[in-house]
Amino acid sequence: MNGSRVLVLNSGSSSVKYQLLDMADGSRPAFGIVERIGEGPVADHAAALKQVADELAAQGLGLDSPELAAVGHRVVHGGTRFTEPALITDEVVEEIEKLIPLAPLHNPANVTGIKVARALRPDLPQVAVFDTAFHSTIPEAAARYAIDVATADRWGVRRYGFHGTSHAYVSRATAALLGKDPAEVNTIVLHLGNGASTSAVRGGVCVETSMGLTPLEGLVMGTRSGDIDPAAIFHLSRVGGMSTEEIDTLLNKRSGLAGLCGDNDMREIGRRMGEGDQAAQLAFDIYIHRLRKYVGAYTAVLGRVDAIAFTAGVGENSAAVREAAMRDLTAFGIEVDGVRNALRSATTRLISTESSRVAVAVVPTDEELEIAGRTFDLVSA
Ligand code: ADP
């Protein structure tokens, strides 16, 4: 291998994000996004990937550049098959395609991204980095739902967890902030973006996470309900007359903060709360209540918590969410410093008091860097 650069591709359902990272000097020579796939001039994912290739070529950084060592692809679902990043072969592509029923919105776009990139540069090593992989260490007691075992196994119904790339990166960065080896630190990671999930990481190993079979379970999110009594679905079907599709749309797109108050952006909710808006206040309170429940639960799961890390759009930017989530938890050894918490900064930082037994931190996530690093490690091994 000659080059030191990795192109990271994140092919989502309606967009392709890309970043070119240089692992030798840490620079990012190019990044961008192709949006609204299927709606306008960009007909499909193949066209979007070609546009990415063209944008890179226009900057003299094309896929044929000798500095390019590999392409790293974000893949949402690795099932139980992929517990580590995988060097992409025809067999790996087939295996990812077989997982499409588990992630019908995401894996097809990921597969297309891989196929187009391979067609453009067949000789270049490409690596799949899975959103589920970091959670593959979760013990059976936490990964299994308490349903009939044969049915669960036949249909792959279990906790997989998502946002794993972020949870892995943030838990390691939190240990680094404390000047410790990840093996010495027990961390609760709160990834609060539009999608939101939390994980319990013991000594660098994930032991529990809030998303499950799909990214719907767990915390209250921008438009997703998170935890709900599954019998609510039967009720909406039998009594409410809703179809499976309608209930799917309700829980994934018309729930969460948006369902509760009409807004899914925490900035807007904060503004409305400032004007005394009751619906926005209730949405915020429900969001915080769920978050605190998980912090309590994961404290019991871990037994000893050394650090709590806030990350992603809300976690990195909303001092109000962090303050409310951590309020009155001195019995848990958690004390947030109001001044540190209110400080706006894009860097990794502690927001707990000097006397807080648990370190509370804001740790900006960097999924692209994690994907590039794992990709580079694999191809240079
Ligand atoms: P995703 O990657 O899941 O789309 P992000 O991690 O980018 O989401 O988070 C997006 C969310 O972050 C927005 O919907 C908004 O609620 C929140 N957010 C972004 N900036 C701020 C801010 N300054 N204050 C509060 N919330 C913010």
Label residue 252 exposed, middle or buried (CB < 10 Å: 0-12, 13-18, 19+).
Answer: middle
* Ligand 1 closest atom vs CA 312: 6
317 and 206 share one domain: yes
**Residue 326 falls inside a structural domain:** yes
DSSP-assigned letter for residue 251: H
Work out the average pLDDT over 244-256: 97
Predicted confidence at residue 140, as pLDDT, reads 98
The residue-averaged pLDDT of 97-105 equals 91
**Is 217 in the same domain as 315?**
yes
Res. 12: pLDDT tops 90: no
Nearest alpha carbon, ligand 1 atom 20: 313
**114 & 212 share domain:** no
314 is in an annotated binding site: yes
Mean of the pLDDT values across residues 325-347? Answer: 97
Percent pLDDT > 90 in the chain is: 92
**Same domain for 114 and 194:** no
65 and 203 co-located in one domain? no
Any known ligand binding at 270?
no
CA–CA dist 69, 16 (Å, integer):
20
Q: What is the Å distance from ligand 1's center to 366 Cα?
A: 14
Ligand 1, atom 4, residue with closest C-alpha? 194
Question: Would 146 be classed as within a structural domain?
Answer: no
pLDDT at position 6: 98
Residues 131-151 have a mean pLDDT of 98
For position 275, which CATH number holds?
A: 3.30.420.40
Q: 121 and 184 share a domain?
A: no
Q: Which atom of ligand 1 is nearest to the CA of 196?
A: 3
Banded pLDDT at 294 (limits 50, 70, 90): very high
Please check if 186 is assigned to a binding site.
Answer: no
270-309: b (≥16 Cβ within 10 Å) or e:
bebbeeebeebeebbebbbebbbebbeebbebbeebbbbb
Query: Pick the residue with more confidence: 50 or 130?
Result: 130
Q: Is 316 annotated as a binding residue?
A: yes
Domain-located, residue 145? no
Is residue 381 pLDDT above 90, yes or no? no
Closest residue by Cα to atom 27, ligand 1, is 314
Question: What is the four-CA torsion angle of 52, 53, 59, 62, rounded to 10 degrees?
Answer: 150
- Going by alpha carbons, the residue nearest to atom 2 of ligand 1 is 193
Q: What is the pLDDT of residues 66-86, one digit of tens each?
A: 999 999 999 999 999 999 999
Examine the domain organization and report whether 117 and 215 are in the same domain.
Answer: no
Rounded average pLDDT over 306-328: 98
Cβ–Cβ < 8 Å for 114, 100: no
198 shares its domain with 52: no
Regarding whether 336 and 200 lie in a shared domain, the answer is yes
Rounded distance between C-alpha atoms, residue 365 and residue 381, angstroms: 25
Range 5-10 average pLDDT: 97
User: Does residue 108 fall inside a structural domain?
Assistant: yes
Distance from residue 312's CA to the centre of ligand 1 (Å): 7
Distance of CA 256 from the midpoint of ligand 1 (Å): 14
Place of tokens 């994907």: 371
Which pLDDT does position 249 carry in this prediction? 96
pLDDT computed for residue 35 by the predictor: 92
Please check whether residues 334 and 227 belong to one and the same domain.
yes
- The confidence band for 345, taking pLDDT boundaries of 50, 70 and 90, is very high
Amino acid 38: pLDDT: 87
Instruction: Provide the domain limits for residue 189.
Output: 179-367
The whole-number pLDDT of residue 1 equals 61
Atom number in ligand 1 closest to CA 365: 6
- Report CA(315)–ligand 1 centroid distance (Å): 8
Band (pLDDT 50/70/90 cuts) for residue 14 is confident
Closest CA to 310 of 360, 359, 367: 360
Question: Is position 162 within any domain?
Answer: no
- Based on the residue annotation, tell me whether 25 is a catalytic residue of this protein: no
In a domain, 139, yes or no: no
Specify the residue for token string 């992603």.
Answer: 312
Q: How confident is the model at residue 25 (pLDDT cuts 50, 70, 90)?
A: very high
Residues with CB under 6 A from ligand 1: 193-195, 222, 264-267, 312-314, 317-318
Same domain, 80 and 213: no
Count of structural domains within the chain: 2
In testing the pocket of ligand 1, which one of 13, 263, 268, 318 has its CB within 8 Å of the most ligand atoms?
318
Whether the predicted pLDDT of 2 surpasses 90: no
Domain endpoint, select from 98, 130, 162: 130
Q: Which atom of ligand 1 is nearest to the CA of 191?
A: 6
pLDDT band of 163, cuts 50, 70, 90: very high
Ligand 1 centre from 350 Cα, in Å? 20
Q: Ligand 1: distance of its center to the CA of 126 in Å? A: 30
Catalytic residue among 25, 54, 131, 306: 131
217 and 348 in a single domain? The answer is yes
Average pLDDT (92-119) is: 92
- Between 136 and 1, the more confident residue is 136
> Annotated binding residue at 222?
no
Our mutation pick for probing the ligand 1 site, out of 13, 35, 314, counting the most ligand atoms within 8 A of Cβ, is 314
> Which ligand 1 atom is at minimum distance from the Cα of 257?
16
